Chain A
Amino acid sequence: MSSRDSILNKIKNNQPSSVNELPDLSVLGLEKFDVIETYKTVLKGIGGFCEEVSSLDEVKAYIAAHYPTDKRMITTISELADIAETEWTNDDPHSLQNVELAVIKAHLGVAENSGLWVTDAILGQRVSPFITQYLAIIVNKNDIVPTMQQAYERISNLDYGFGTFIAGPSKTADIEQSLVLGAHGARGLTVFLMG
């Protein structure tokens, strides 16, 4: 017998004889709070920056003022083509190792933990938000949901190859519990709240 079959057999014999019912999830995520204020507070708490903007021009101006524009910048947003490269999505992912700033969009954000949901469809390349030194993500204010409960309701059964929630910059506290930003992924995260 293959390991697969013997493992499955043993599980069948050893699991409880009747199936425990799945709990009802509709009792969760009912907490009421100011979604945008919470989002901003939580993001700040985990080391991210938040900028409220009303147009992509404001995004451009902010980037020009806060990032070294002589270094390599990439984006998946065609309107930002004058400040960042857009023709990199089919390159070897290793070629992104010298990127200073990546600017991408998020499908939605979650107020309770400041996480931003991004998938293959808007990442350009899976490695882009990790390999870049700094990361900027644009999300519509209307797309901020209160908790993970609503986030998964929104994601539902959409198909994707890869998706991730990004909450703040990469970090570690592995050396004596001292928080250090910029472990292996982006050293800093700016979230543009558009609305």
Chain B
Amino acid sequence: MKENTIDHSTAAATFNKDVERVNWHDETLWFVRSKRDKSAHAIPEWETLRETASNIKFNVLSNMHHYLQEFEAKAKENGIIVHWAADGEEHNKIVHSIIAKHGVTQMVKSKSMLTEECHLNEYLADNGIEVIDSDLGEFIVQLRKEPPSHIVLPAIHLKKEDVSNTFNEHLGTEKGNNDPQYLTEAARKELRDTFLTRKVALTGVNFAVAETGEFVVCTNEGNADMGAHLADVHIACMGFEKLVPQRKHLGVFLRLLARSATGQPITTFSSHFKKPREGQEMHIVIVDNGRSTQLGREEFRNSLKCIRCGACMNTCPVYRRSGGHSYHNAVAGPIGSILAPNLNMKKNADLPFASTLCGSCTNVCPVKIDIHDQLYKWRQVLVKEGYTPTSKTVAMKGMSAVLANPTVFKIAGKAGRFVVKNMPFIVNNSMNVWYKQREMPAAPEESFREWYAKKQKESKDKK
């Protein structure tokens, strides 16, 4: 899981070699998207909910400085120890110091994309701490030494045969038994033992309430709760944008989150942690890691409204056909492609281009982030800053030169048709990304422009 800098289109090309599998991946995610639609359409006030959620988040972004301090004060009053981390490294150090203080070498962790973003597992492993991911999907990818390919469905890129083979190798399940029920039961047994023996549990945070100092963790499996309620120490890690002003605002977000994510009316468990249980130690690590910079980028600020539902990925035609791993970033898909360049423009310059700008993401986003507009804006920023991936720059420079000059446009059209017809290998090369996985249409004998001119002439001749 070390830095992977194979660019998106190259990784997507590899992913696309297995046609059957790509089609399956595409359909599986579309199925999740359809469930979201069904669920959303059953709520007559859905659009009002989205609008309200969006406005609550706008309020949070505009008053973040105040809310964070309010949250910190309340959490402390509730007996929670609050830490602040400027970046991923500081976050990892804080978590490690808490574990070390308790003299243990093992920890159980429920889903937290933030810890993926900070590469916590690798850091702790290097420091002799074993981490077990307890969300089933994350457990599977962890055994396979892969990162999650989706923020909500970490193992969505795998088929049950893959899981069966992985479990056969690591848990000793029957070879060739691909029954999801059987495989889940095997993981349940294995992880139950983990929950019962770990002294430290780490969870993510879905929402944190400034007014009360409590935080909410949503799971379907109950793994966050199994870990946290059995451990002596509970560490919860959150990006600071997880705040909502008041407890009552949770209602709006909990109505939207699971419906947008998987089409469920709500996750099985929406757990509100306000105070440690008697004898337990509870920590919150509030992480910046580039978020305050993004807050200052007026055009991209809205990306911090994200509640990580994954709907924009499920609907994205590029994500569905390229897979989460091709985005080489903890958060993949359309929203990941907006967040990533903020962290590292050079490394992630390819991501805002991994989109058709069709706008489907924007249409499904429960907090109404203008996702496709932001992708478009990033392209402009990246080109200006000189970070564009080479193939895109050549193509775009060529494109703008052609479009700017009608004569060149005419000649380019003629030349293009000639090339497609007589020298297809020139078009079918690595500089023309559009040709990948697509049949170029047969070149027409004459262009529209030529046809139109001829018709004009013919009709003139008739007169």
Contacts and interface: CB of A to CB of B under 8 A. Distances in A.
Contacts of A155: 247
A163 B272 contact: yes
Interface string B205-233: 00000001000000011110110011000
B177 to A, nearest CB: 12
B266 interface: yes
A31 B44 contact: yes
Contact of A184 (B222, B266, B272): B222
A118 B133 CA distance: 27
Contacts of B14: none
A16 B223 contact: no
Contact of B226 (A15, A175, A184): A184
Nearest to B156: A177
Interface stretch (A50-58, A59-67, A75-83, A125-133): A125-133
Interface stretch (B59-67, B359-367, B418-426, B428-436): B59-67
Contacts of A12: 65
B344 interface: no
A39 to B, nearest CB: 11
A29 B181 CA distance: 37
Interface residues of A, number: 76
Contact of A28 (B48, B84, B250): B48
B254 A148 contact: yes
Contacts of A130: 222, 225-226, 229, 269
Interface residues of B, number: 89
A176 B136 contact: no
Given A22-B56, A183-B136, A184-B188, A14 B265 contact: no
A6 B292 CA distance: 10
B221 A22 contact: no
Contacts, number: 253
B180 A152 contact: no
B293 interface: yes
B44, B140, B196, B266: residue with the most chain A Cβ atoms closer than 10 Å: B266
Nearest to A18: B62
Contacts of B266: 110, 113, 115, 148, 165, 167
A152 B58 contact: no
B153 interface: yes
B183 to A, nearest CB: 6
A100 interface: no
Contacts of B43: 31, 112
A180 B154 contact: no
A151 B254 CA distance: 11
B270 A165 contact: yes
Contacts of A125: 229
Interface of A: 2-4, 6-8, 10-16, 18-23, 25, 27-31, 42, 45-46, 93-94, 97, 110, 112-115, 120, 125-127, 130-131, 147-149, 151-153, 155, 157, 159-178, 180, 182-186
